[in-house]
A and B are shown apart, each in its own frame.
Chain A
């Protein structure tokens, strides 16, 4: 099953260990991860289900481009990294 790994920066706010979740698109896999760990959803997605402006998702090393739909396909052995953009101060 695809594996979802969350940025360690999230650990400061809530627990989010790596998960193995079934699904064939980024949306399906993330929805599965949030079903198990619902508190994480609003930290990654906004209220309309789009990726937050300063968050990025990589599927096997490639950044997701459909940030609203999260429709990119994932393979059964994909690694999905939920990361934060480099900004702050």
Chain B
């Protein structure tokens, strides 16, 4: 696997897709696309194809693909839910009738591990997982997961409907896939999606009555990330804390004594050192702003036993940036990280977070940040 640093960064926002490139003089916006249109996710596959999910307010969710580095785009199909049979009464945990209609494209991941793969997993609201084996020309809803009776125990967190926001495909064996759902916990397939089991043992939910606190099916992982070369090492930024697994999600351990706040949305893990991970804390739940108006990044190098508070280059007064769940990324080298905020600020580090450089303070609200390989 390449360990080369990435010189290209994609930033999906409420008002378009921005491509930044690193030149001799530093990082600059090199290209824009879909100006004025809301995006939800951008994904770059191993061959460098770029997938951009648009969430057009009036016209629905669309999927666009570029095979020339973003110079030109072609519309692909968006995942489509099947018709709900007339005799099916599909209601969520709160008794609301679940629409069998795509509400949002919330995760894209390569379903194959070879360089040429055009197979994709797509996580969506209201809780369906889709697969395409032709680069998004056609999609199939994964029925084994959708038909699980436990799905009716899921509910929305922040949105009206539950959503799959994280898809981690095991690079050693693409049949093994972990997904995370707000709010539906973590689920594992070891047979390419033919069967699924809940795998959130050890997670704890403060927002539930005590007798339901450890129920795996109602956990709210905000994001789940796996170390690229140690895929059994997983980190979850959860609604009420940070959790870690070292055994491929068989068990989860809650991280204690987190400085500033255990609340947040984003997480990143080093591709080769699974003990090293980053988070961006915020005041929990009702406020969702940086503690004391100081924007910081938390870094652990010892598997969560301790954290450093990284603030060099980040605003330390009157900062009200919130970092959404897909808006922090790490490159293949493990040295470069970038994150973007709800108030349109974008920062990058090339030294694992020791120091940060502001790339913009006036982009549209940022929903997803991804390095190119």
Contact = CB atoms under 8 A, between A and B. Distances in A.
Interface of A: 9-10, 12-14, 39, 42-44, 46-48, 50, 52, 54-55, 84-85, 87-88
27 contacts: A9-B58, A10-B59, A13-B56, A13-B62, A14-B75, A42-B78, A43-B56, A43-B60, A44-B59, A46-B60, A46-B101, A47-B80, A47-B81, A47-B101, A47-B102, A48-B81, A48-B84, A48-B101, A50-B101, A52-B58, A52-B60, A54-B58, A55-B58, A55-B59, A84-B58, A84-B59, A88-B58
Interface residues of B, number: 16
Given A46-B101, A47-B101, A48-B101, A87 B80 contact: no
Contacts of A44: 59
Given A39-B75, A42-B78, A48 B58 contact: no
B57 interface: yes
Nearest to A45: B60
Contacts, number: 43
Given A39-B75, A52-B58, A87-B57, 16 more contacts: A10-B59, A13-B59, A13-B62, A42-B60, A43-B56, A44-B59, A46-B60, A47-B80, A47-B102, A48-B81, A48-B83, A52-B59, A52-B60, A54-B57, A55-B59, A85-B58
A48 to B, nearest CB: 6
A39 to B, nearest CB: 7
Interface of B: 36, 56-60, 62, 75, 78, 80-81, 83-84, 100-102
User: Chain B interface secondary structure, helix, strand, loop or mixed?
Assistant: loop
A88 B101 contact: no
Interface centre among B58, B60, B101 (most CB of A within 10 A): B58
Nearest to B83: A48
Contacts of B75: 14, 39
